[in-house]
Amino acid sequence: MTVKDQLINEINHFPEILLDEVLDFLLFVKTRHTEEVTLEEQETITASQTAYQLGEYITLDEYETSQS
């Protein structure tokens, strides 16, 4: 189950009276993230996440060895 699926599941079981508060928080986080991360940084983050998911990464030990 993805994080998005988990969030949707939680929202579906959340008390209706508190959903406004949850929405406000999500919009706050979105706004803060958008303001702090440039487009170039977001592209780098997305590329890194994709590479990690594909197993295209090296361990810290491998990195340190390559720097010696």
pLDDT tens per residue across span 54-64: 888 777 788 78
Q: How confident is the model at residue 13 (pLDDT cuts 50, 70, 90)?
A: very high
Q: Which residues fall within 8 angstroms of residue 7, CB to CB, at 6 or more apart?
A: none
For residues 41 and 25, which has the higher predicted lDDT (pLDDT)?
25
Closest-CA residue to 57 (of 66, 31, 29, 33): 66
Closest-CA residue to 48 (of 59, 39, 57): 57
Q: Which residues fall within 8 angstroms of residue 19, CB to CB, at 6 or more apart?
A: 11
